[in-house]
């Protein structure tokens, strides 16, 4: 089949694409089938506002912490930033048409807080409100269901100037933002996620300082954790107040943790790491409190708690999002008196790696789904992010990314294994739909099903995107 025959099948807005002339390569990977997951299983792809939108200072948008952070020399790979990114702000219709062409029926995206509220609170930017109406309406017109993430790391800078997540007032600030969004879009959007990976944005942004806003230390980390956990529940309550029939969830970054060797001290190190990475936010939401039994240092968080907080941390979510990319192997390490553990880099373990330096370990997502499913009163689970960055080479305007295709297939197999064993997992969102700005990595690493030439903004569907299309066709 010739390229021109494919072009006739694509919506006019995407006619710049070059597509594979031979689909025989699909047969190698089609060892699992969409039908294996059931007719009601949700399939989608995901992105985040700062990583794709660009238009960082247009149409009334205020500064976010990532605008500020990336404009500081030395914080990001090659001093890159998301000022333009994938230009989704201007090209959303093209990208949504691509979603439709690839048969991806659900689209997860986030709302930029500073685009809606340039000052964090107070005056609403109507042009920001209108933009997301256009995105949502375009999704619905193309029979694509929108799933909105309310906070995907881009806090307004004016609120960070007041302490950001370390300031308890953020519970009120965030509630106002959530209320505006849900009142604006609640008649059209029924699927909502409160926070994206709170362990990541508090740990990397408020303890290690390598993500925005660049703060460091336990004195920043602990209040940020507590206030994020409070917002996680309070945000959900606001959604329920404004949208009675909403499906409300939140998402967690998770990694399966293994000890270096079968020795007690290494097992203890793995348990400590697991408590921090995998338990810190889910357990308060389930009414179990923070995992202070495993990490005594977390008892210091009580300094930031007020009367009634323990109950307010709890919320009966409609679903939980699990986000997994790799696993970690740890050993006992006396120089880390918080966890008494240290990660052993995957690069030193002679395992298959992605461009992020992460181990390809499909079994990890199976173990995590089983782990979360074992909690009492856990709601249904969705895989709200899973994907891989590999080196993509444009060859005659094609991208043959067999490693990524194999990655998706192998991880889906493990999701299916968990589902067959009784785990109530109801959906899978690939990260990410297009290549994008990958935080501290800048544009060096590419996760997308769709390749983006950042200079020209040309989109090319990768072989993995075509595999996903064929898979979704059953």
Catalytic annotation, residues: 197, 385
Task: Answer for the pair 287, 308: CB distance below 8 angstroms, yes or no.
Answer: no
CA dihedral 401, 405, 407, 412 (to 10 degrees): 160
HSE-CB for 182 with a 13 A CA cutoff: 28
Distance CA 64, CA 159 (A): 9
Residue in this structure with the two tokens 């979360």, named with its chain if needed:
372
Distance CA 418, CA 430 (A): 18
Interacting residues of 343 by C-beta distance below 8 A, sequence separation 6+? 273, 328, 329, 330
Task: Answer for the pair 10, 94: CB distance below 8 angstroms, yes or no.
Answer: no
DSSP 61: P
- The two counts, helices (H) then strands (E), for the chain are 17, 13
Closest to 218 (Cα-Cα) out of 231, 229, 228, 209:
209
Preceding omega of 432 cis (within 30 degrees of 0): yes
Interacting residues of 123 by C-beta distance below 8 A, sequence separation 6+? 117
For 98-111, letters b (16+ CB in 10 Å) and e give bbbbbebbbbbbbb
Closest to 154 (Cα-Cα) out of 203, 181, 114:
114
Closest to 281 (Cα-Cα) out of 328, 338, 320:
320
DSSP string, 95-163: HHHHHHHTT--EEEEE--HHHH-TTSSSS--HHHHHHHHHHHHHHHHTT-EEEEEEESS--BHHHHTTT
Distance CA 359, CA 324 (A): 11
């Amino acid at each position: 089949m010739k390229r021109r025959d494919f072009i006739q099948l694509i919506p006019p807005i995407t006619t710049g694409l070059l597509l594979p002339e031979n689909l025989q390569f699909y047969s190698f990977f089609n060892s699992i089938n969409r039908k294996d997951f059931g007719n009601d299983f949700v399939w989608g792809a995901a992105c985040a506002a700062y990583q794709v939108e660009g238009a960082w200072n247009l149409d009334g948008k205020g500064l976010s912490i990532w605008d500020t952070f990336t404009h500081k020399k030395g914080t990001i790979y090659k001093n890159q930033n998301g000022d333009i990114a994938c230009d989704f702000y201007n090209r959303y219709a093209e990208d949504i048409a691509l979603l439709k062409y690839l048969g991806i029926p659900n689209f997860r995206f986030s709302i930029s807080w500073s685009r809606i509220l340039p000052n964090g609170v107070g005056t609403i930017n109507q042009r920001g409100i209108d933009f997301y109406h256009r995105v949502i309406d375009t999704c619905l017109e193309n029979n694509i269901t929108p799933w909105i993430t309310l906070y995907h790391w881009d806090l307004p800078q004016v609120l960070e100037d007041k302490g950001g997540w370390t300031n308890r007032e953020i519970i009120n600030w965030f509630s106002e933002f959530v209320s505006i969004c849900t009142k604006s879009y609640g008649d059209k959007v029924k699927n909502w996620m409160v926070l994206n990976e709170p362990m990541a944005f508090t740990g990397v942004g408020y303890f290690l300082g390598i993500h925005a806003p660049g703060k460091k230390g336990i004195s920043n980390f602990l209040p940020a954790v507590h206030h994020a956990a409070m917002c996680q529940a309070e945000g959900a309550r606001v959604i329920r107040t404004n949208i009675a029939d909403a499906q409300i969830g939140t998402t967690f970054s998770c990694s399966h943790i293994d000890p270096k060797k079968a020795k007690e001290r290494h097992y203890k190190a793995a348990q400590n790491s697991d408590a921090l990475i995998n338990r810190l936010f889910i357990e308060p939401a389930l009414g179990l409190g923070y995992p202070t039994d495993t990490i005594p240092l977390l008892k210091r968080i009580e300094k930031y708690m007020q009367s009634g907080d323990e109950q307010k941390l709890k919320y009966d979510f409609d679903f939980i999002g699990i986000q997994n990319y790799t696993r970690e192997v740890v050993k006992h390490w006396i120089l880390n008196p918080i966890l008494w553990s240290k990660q052993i880099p995957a690069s030193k373990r002679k395992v298959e790696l992605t461009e992020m330096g992460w181990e390809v370990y499909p079994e990890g997502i199976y173990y995590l789904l089983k782990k979360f499913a074992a909690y009492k009163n856990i709601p249904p689970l969705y895989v709200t992010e899973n994907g891989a960055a590999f080196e993509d080479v444009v060859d005659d305007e094609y991208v043959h990314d067999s490693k990524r295709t194999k990655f998706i297939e192998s991880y889906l197999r493990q999701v299916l294994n968990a589902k067959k064993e009784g785990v109530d997992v109801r959906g899978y969102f690939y990260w990410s739909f297009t290549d994008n700005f990958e935080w501290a990595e800048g544009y060096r690493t590419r996760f997308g099903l769709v390749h983006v030439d950042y200079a020209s903004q040309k989109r090319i569907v990768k072989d993995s995107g075509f595999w996903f299309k064929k898979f979704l066709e059953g």
